A and B are shown apart, each in its own frame.
Chain A
Amino acid sequence: MKLGYFPGCSLESSAREYNESLQAVAPLLDLELCEVPDWNCCGATAAHSLNHKLALALPARTLALAERAGFDELLVPCSACYSRLAATRRDLLANEALRQEITSIIELDYVGSTKVVSVVDVLGRAAPTIRAKASVPFLRKVACYYGCYLTRPASLTTCARPEDPQEMEAIVASAGATPLDWAFKIDCCGAALSVSRTATVAELAGRIVADAAERGAEALVVACPLCHTNLDLRRPAIERHRGVSYALPVLYITQLVGLALGLSERALGLHRHHVPVRFAPGAAAPAAAPKEN
């Protein structure tokens, strides 16, 4: 299946391993990712905080380019970008005058024919394939973390039960993992304040890491580079803030699926994490895991 692909800025740099693992997993799940030609930044929180028009125009340009390339669906792995793009599509489809205004700003026509989908949407559909091909089941207890943009707002989420989503759980379960029931899967991690108010992030992300650890999770699973930054890269700040250290790695859901599909740690970019991806000896150690079934 052919999908339009919008990696977004962070997957080119700080979230490289998300890109790498997604690209590595895709062919095994019969997904062909075609990068949108000449895509641009969605503008993130900055744009809609400072200039309403820009917050629509930046995502609209990428959407229009994807539409022009003829994709039915556009895969947006970063959930913050996903939210911006999907919201722009929603707003422009709902308001004809606005659509016309924005198309003239971006100098491109746009009718909204390309649907915006997230990694969780796409992997969710591929769950049967993952189950069938999981040669190295990831037999660990994990806490799936959704953050904000996969479950909110109600007009954009594809989760059936936004206050207690189960979509990521279904995916990791198909890869052999045991998803835990825990309390913070939809709580905010501090997202865009990562740089400007690191202390705030230490508090918010800290609660998340702590709850997952206390409930016995062996890994946190995420589907967003911002979440990953706050839970992984900001770990020292979290540990300083709480005075506890946590050996809880944070995996992109694509990495977890990749491990189950038998891909190597390196191919999946596990070495790029701040918190080392190491597991206590147990049912299965990633990559080196013996074949279980």
Chain B
Amino acid sequence: MPRIGVFICHCGENIGATVDAAAVAKAAGELPGVVHAVDYKYMCSDPGQNLIKEAIREKKLTGVVVGACSPRMHEPTFRRACAEAGLNAFLCEMANLREHCSWVHEKLPETTEKAIDLVRVMVEKVKRNRPLFPINVPITKTALVLGGGIAGIQAALDIANAGHPVVLVEREASIGGHMAQLSETFPTLDCSQCILTPRMVEVAQHPNIRLYTYSELESLEGFIGNFKAVIRKKARGIDEATCTGCGACIQKCPTKKIPSEFNAHLGHRTAIYVPFPQAVPNKPVIDRAHCTYYRTGKCKLCERVCPTKALRYDQEDLLVEVAVGAVVVATGYEVKGTDFFPEYGYGRYKDVITGLQFERLASASGPTLGAIRRPSDGQVPETVVFIACAGSRDPAKGLHYCSKICCMYTAKHAMLYKHKVHHGRPYVFYMDIRAGGKMYEEFVRRAIEEDQVSYIRGRVSRIYEKNGKLIVKGVDTLLNSRPVEIAADLVVLATAMVPQPDAEALAQKMKISYDGDRFLNEAHPKLRPVEMNTAGIFVAGACQAPKDIPETVAQASGAASKVIGLFSKDELSREPVVAVVNRTAPPLFSTCVGCFLCETACPYQAIEREEIKDRNGNVLKTVARVNQGVCQGCGTCVALCRSKSIDLQGFTNEQVFAELVAL
């Protein structure tokens, strides 16, 4: 038999002035199952809570209903009080007599009647409450960081410095990402590599970081605190332990004319190569698609010159399994190529280049050692046209968003050009200048005022080549849309920032969500900007949306602190409001018919499949099982299950129907 206690609060005048609290308590006392009902001026005060505690002990209550304010206000208070008195916290419910009754209705008999109704409903519900216990899940305190750009580097270092092991996986032969390719960075114009390289070295030397370069994520299974990741370590063709990074092989390799990815195809590299001199690790890889030995069976020059005999031509990919408790995705972005622009020549004109290529031209470590020379003939361009929003904000080309950083880097490029070619004439075609950030507007003004970069408001319609010049046809919309034609020596397109080509596939592999542009979707744009919907997976950097380095680093530290927060406990404790599939203990039986409608509905992928076997191990049927570590308790599955096999603890079908009946 249930033994329910009801406690009605006056909240001073707040409830008491409109609702006859004593009458409510009296009516409650007459409800079946209620063995104790009182009213009191301030229930949440210490004496108020003591009333409840004493009643639990003395009347051996099996459930408590507090008729007071909104449960959003004091449910934790009263649940704690119950627990202190030895009653399971989840056997306490609140009836909202203040926000939903006394404050919104007149002092009329109906109002007190409504208050009685609200209490009755909760009494019926609480009779069906079951003791629940917070869910504890153990945590593997190792983090996986995917992507070794500045975002991944920052996150890995923050987590490692907090004392937790980190597995950092980078697809390319070196970490560094796009930041390693940049010349100088806005708004301070400090040298990108100078600030990045020390951090790369720190990663390599950090005792808590295990670095896998030239590696990719093969699969990810499990849930928050308990993931299992398989990493594919692609065959480098050398033994990393033996190689000293002397570079003799690279110097001797006869296959030299391969466009260098690091130099955005403006320079060349060999078949055995490190992407750039400051690479971490500074150990080469063999590009098998281009290597003469792999293509023809002859060469092995590199092996002959290697002083340590480090080459391993028959090396195979290695699969490594790691157990991790959290994942940070930091896989970055890609820029659109010039072939994306039909009206600008489909990438046919050598002197129409991307912003990223300009970075390489301006970089001291680039193919021209920092001199601005155009690709076609190596001449110093006298007139350079920069085109902003190239591909961004262009729904006709399928990209409607603003890439956010190009206004800034275009101003930077024009400035760097002017600093290097004093008599040069830089023009920028733009639509809007978006320079919201600390010292950003000032930076753009400097480009215009001090370096006399001519900004022209208008979009370029077409570029064609004539007599060695690139004819750029635009207008100035600030001059009555007058046609402006500029004969340029070099054109730089601020091409759009887009996700990595495999962003979608990676997201699907990890079961995380992405938006229509294939950028990863954070859990909430304002309040959970570094978490993914899937618990235990976090996001940092340009893989989530276009962003610059300061924002990337801030987000990476945010993601890292979430991971560190998660790792600060040994177990995860969660509210037990989770779904369960019904089960009668042995022999295991469930009414679940295995339709897996729940699986399709669950926004968190919390539904797993479980085989029910007989004693001989034969599969009887496959039923749903809720992973309680993942379930967030939304109840969508419950509404969908036709056989009523899945239920939500705390809001069970039985409880909710009882509420309805009591109305």
Direct A–B contact present (CB less than 8 angstroms)? yes
Complex CA–CA separation, A211 to B342 (angstroms): 20
Chain A's closest residue to B343 (CB) is: A163
Q: B342 to A161, Cβ gap below 8 A? A: yes
Q: B466 to A164, Cβ gap below 8 A? A: no
Interface: B371 (CB within 8 A): no
Interface string of A162-197 (1 = CB under 8 A from B): 111000000000000000000100000000000000
Q: A164 to B465, Cβ gap below 8 A? A: no
Chain A's closest residue to B464 (CB) is: A183
Tally of B interface residues using CB under 8 Å: 10
Which B334-351 residues have C-beta < 8 A from chain A?
342-343, 345-346, 348
B interface vs A, CB < 8 Å? Answer: 342-343, 345-346, 348, 462, 464-466, 471
Q: B471 to A164, Cβ gap below 8 A? A: no
Complex CA–CA separation, A164 to B341 (angstroms): 11
Chain A's closest residue to B467 (CB) is: A214
Chain B's closest residue to A185 (CB) is: B464
Chain B's closest residue to A184 (CB) is: B464
Complex CA–CA separation, A163 to B466 (angstroms): 16
Identify the interface centre among B345, B464, B465: most chain A CB within 10 Å of its CB. B464
What are 14 contact pairs spanning A and B, CB under 8 A? A161-B342, A161-B346, A162-B342, A163-B342, A163-B343, A163-B346, A163-B462, A164-B342, A164-B345, A164-B346, A164-B348, A183-B465, A183-B466, A211-B466
Complex CA–CA separation, A211 to B464 (angstroms): 12
Complex CA–CA separation, A161 to B341 (angstroms): 11
Complex CA–CA separation, A76 to B9 (angstroms): 88
- Taking the nearest CB of chain A, how far is it from the CB of B321, in angstroms? 47
- Taking the nearest CB of chain B, how far is it from the CB of A3, in angstroms? 31
Interface string of A132-169 (1 = CB under 8 A from B): 00000000000000000000000000000111100000
Besides A161-B346, A163-B343, A211-B466, 13 more A-B contacts (Cβ < 8 Å) are A161-B342, A162-B342, A163-B342, A163-B346, A163-B462, A164-B342, A164-B345, A164-B346, A164-B348, A183-B464, A183-B465, A183-B466, A183-B471
Complex CA–CA separation, A156 to B160 (angstroms): 59
Residues on the A chain within 8 Å of B346, using CB: 161, 163-164
Complex CA–CA separation, A161 to B348 (angstroms): 13
- Taking the nearest CB of chain B, how far is it from the CB of A50, in angstroms? 27
Complex CA–CA separation, A30 to B466 (angstroms): 41
Complex CA–CA separation, A183 to B345 (angstroms): 10
Chain A's closest residue to B341 (CB) is: A163
Chain A facing B: main interface SS: loop
Chain B's closest residue to A215 (CB) is: B466
Complex CA–CA separation, A163 to B397 (angstroms): 14
- Taking the nearest CB of chain A, how far is it from the CB of B429, in angstroms? 18
- Taking the nearest CB of chain A, how far is it from the CB of B350, in angstroms? 14
Chain B's closest residue to A162 (CB) is: B342
Residues on the B chain within 8 Å of A163, using CB: 342-343, 346, 462
Complex CA–CA separation, A162 to B396 (angstroms): 14
Identify the interface centre among A162, A164, A211: most chain B CB within 10 Å of its CB. A164
Residues on the A chain within 8 Å of B471, using CB: 183
Complex CA–CA separation, A164 to B345 (angstroms): 7
Residues on the A chain within 8 Å of B466, using CB: 183, 211
Residues on the A chain within 8 Å of B348, using CB: 164
Residues on the B chain within 8 Å of A211, using CB: 466
Complex CA–CA separation, A163 to B342 (angstroms): 6
- Taking the nearest CB of chain B, how far is it from the CB of A175, in angstroms? 24
Complex CA–CA separation, A162 to B345 (angstroms): 11
- Taking the nearest CB of chain B, how far is it from the CB of A213, in angstroms? 13
Complex CA–CA separation, A161 to B342 (angstroms): 7
- Taking the nearest CB of chain B, how far is it from the CB of A211, in angstroms? 7
Chain A's closest residue to B396 (CB) is: A154
- Taking the nearest CB of chain A, how far is it from the CB of B483, in angstroms? 13
Residues on the B chain within 8 Å of A183, using CB: 464-466, 471
Identify the interface centre among B346, B348, B466: most chain A CB within 10 Å of its CB. B466
Complex CA–CA separation, A161 to B339 (angstroms): 11
- Taking the nearest CB of chain A, how far is it from the CB of B344, in angstroms? 9
Chain A's closest residue to B344 (CB) is: A163
Residues on the B chain within 8 Å of A161, using CB: 342, 346
Residues on the A chain within 8 Å of B462, using CB: 163
- Taking the nearest CB of chain A, how far is it from the CB of B67, in angstroms? 63
Residues on the A chain within 8 Å of B343, using CB: 163
- Taking the nearest CB of chain B, how far is it from the CB of A55, in angstroms? 25
Complex CA–CA separation, A163 to B348 (angstroms): 12
Complex CA–CA separation, A228 to B464 (angstroms): 24
- Taking the nearest CB of chain A, how far is it from the CB of B149, in angstroms? 34
Chain B's closest residue to A187 (CB) is: B462
Complex CA–CA separation, A27 to B386 (angstroms): 53
Complex CA–CA separation, A162 to B465 (angstroms): 17
Which A83-124 residues have C-beta < 8 A from chain B?
none
Complex CA–CA separation, A183 to B464 (angstroms): 6
- Taking the nearest CB of chain B, how far is it from the CB of A188, in angstroms? 12
- Taking the nearest CB of chain B, how far is it from the CB of A49, in angstroms? 23
Chain A's closest residue to B471 (CB) is: A183
Pick the 9 closest A-B CB pairs, nearest first. A163-B342, A183-B464, A163-B343, A183-B466, A164-B346, A161-B346, A161-B342, A164-B342, A162-B342
- Taking the nearest CB of chain B, how far is it from the CB of A145, in angstroms? 14
Complex CA–CA separation, A163 to B346 (angstroms): 8
- Taking the nearest CB of chain B, how far is it from the CB of A210, in angstroms? 11
Complex CA–CA separation, A162 to B346 (angstroms): 11
Complex CA–CA separation, A219 to B464 (angstroms): 21
Residues on the B chain within 8 Å of A162, using CB: 342
Residues on the A chain within 8 Å of B345, using CB: 164
Chain B's closest residue to A164 (CB) is: B346
Chain B's closest residue to A154 (CB) is: B396
Which A227-275 residues have C-beta < 8 A from chain B?
none
Complex CA–CA separation, A161 to B345 (angstroms): 10
Complex CA–CA separation, A93 to B464 (angstroms): 37
- Taking the nearest CB of chain A, how far is it from the CB of B529, in angstroms? 38
Complex CA–CA separation, A164 to B344 (angstroms): 10
Which A199-216 residues have C-beta < 8 A from chain B?
211
Chain A's closest residue to B342 (CB) is: A163
- Taking the nearest CB of chain B, how far is it from the CB of A84, in angstroms? 24
Complex CA–CA separation, A183 to B342 (angstroms): 13
- Taking the nearest CB of chain A, how far is it from the CB of B199, in angstroms? 43
- Taking the nearest CB of chain B, how far is it from the CB of A230, in angstroms? 20
Complex CA–CA separation, A161 to B347 (angstroms): 12
Residues on the A chain within 8 Å of B342, using CB: 161-164
Complex CA–CA separation, A228 to B462 (angstroms): 25
Complex CA–CA separation, A151 to B463 (angstroms): 17
Chain A's closest residue to B345 (CB) is: A164
Complex CA–CA separation, A211 to B466 (angstroms): 9
Complex CA–CA separation, A162 to B343 (angstroms): 9
Chain A's closest residue to B346 (CB) is: A164
Chain B's closest residue to A183 (CB) is: B464
Residues on the B chain within 8 Å of A164, using CB: 342, 345-346, 348
Complex CA–CA separation, A161 to B464 (angstroms): 15
Chain A's closest residue to B348 (CB) is: A164
- Taking the nearest CB of chain B, how far is it from the CB of A165, in angstroms? 10
- Taking the nearest CB of chain B, how far is it from the CB of A275, in angstroms? 23
Complex CA–CA separation, A183 to B343 (angstroms): 11
- Taking the nearest CB of chain B, how far is it from the CB of A72, in angstroms? 31
Chain A's closest residue to B462 (CB) is: A163
Complex CA–CA separation, A142 to B345 (angstroms): 20
- Taking the nearest CB of chain A, how far is it from the CB of B473, in angstroms? 10
Complex CA–CA separation, A162 to B342 (angstroms): 8
Complex CA–CA separation, A162 to B348 (angstroms): 14
Chain B's closest residue to A211 (CB) is: B466
- Taking the nearest CB of chain A, how far is it from the CB of B162, in angstroms? 54
- Taking the nearest CB of chain B, how far is it from the CB of A280, in angstroms? 23
Interface string of A58-71 (1 = CB under 8 A from B): 00000000000000
- Taking the nearest CB of chain B, how far is it from the CB of A183, in angstroms? 4
Residues on the A chain within 8 Å of B465, using CB: 183
- Taking the nearest CB of chain A, how far is it from the CB of B372, in angstroms? 26
- Taking the nearest CB of chain B, how far is it from the CB of A249, in angstroms? 23
- Taking the nearest CB of chain A, how far is it from the CB of B391, in angstroms? 14
Complex CA–CA separation, A146 to B471 (angstroms): 20
Complex CA–CA separation, A161 to B462 (angstroms): 14
- Taking the nearest CB of chain A, how far is it from the CB of B191, in angstroms? 39
